[in-house]
Amino acid sequence: MSVTRMIEHAVGAILVLLLVGGMANILLRLTEGGGLIWFNDVSRYLLVWVTFLGAAAASFHRAHITVNEEIVAGLSPGLRRLARLLRQAVVILFLLVVVYEGTRLTLQVSKQSFLTIRWLSLSFGYVALPISAALMLAAAVLWAVRDARGEERGR
């Protein structure tokens, strides 16, 4: 199974957890007068995971918004390749910063816990950032290598 497929399956599993947990919370509020207090905290961070993992999957599909190819279409093939590599270099540099800062932030909150679930660290939600950025970084490097080789840019 490819990395992209694994990411997409993880996103699907999280969405199912959110759906089942949300329905259970509603049913408990209606029948028992009180829901799963902890679910609000957990669902907030699960949505963070879905967002960042979805962005990582989009990176592997090369589906993020990017500089329009028509802008560089008038350039010679060598300059077009250079423009693509420059764009990828900027993306890679940005993602390296995000991995570093996301890891630093995750470590800062690792001693803090949720208010409703004392045994669960806040780093559970924050670690989605460096992990997803690392996945996006891998995709950016992959695309940079393909661009350097002049391979077709299919989505």
The whole-number mean pLDDT for each consecutive block of 10 residues of the chain, a chain of 155 residues, reads 92 96 92 86 93 95 77 81 87 97 96 86 93 96 86 56
Q: What are the tens digits of pLDDT across the range 137-146? A: 999 999 889 8
CB-facing half-sphere around the CA of 150: CA atoms within 13 A = 5
* pLDDT at 99 (0 to 100): 98
* pLDDT at 102 (0 to 100): 97
* pLDDT at 155 (0 to 100): 43
- Residue 117 region by backbone torsions, left for phi larger than 0, else alpha for psi between -120 and 50, else beta: beta
DSSP per-residue string spanning 39-50: HHHHHHHHHHHH
Structure tokens at 58: 């989009």
How far is C-alpha 143 from the chain's CA centre?
Answer: 17
CB-facing half-sphere around the CA of 153: CA atoms within 13 A = 15
* pLDDT at 153 (0 to 100): 55
DSSP letter (8 states) at residue 113: B
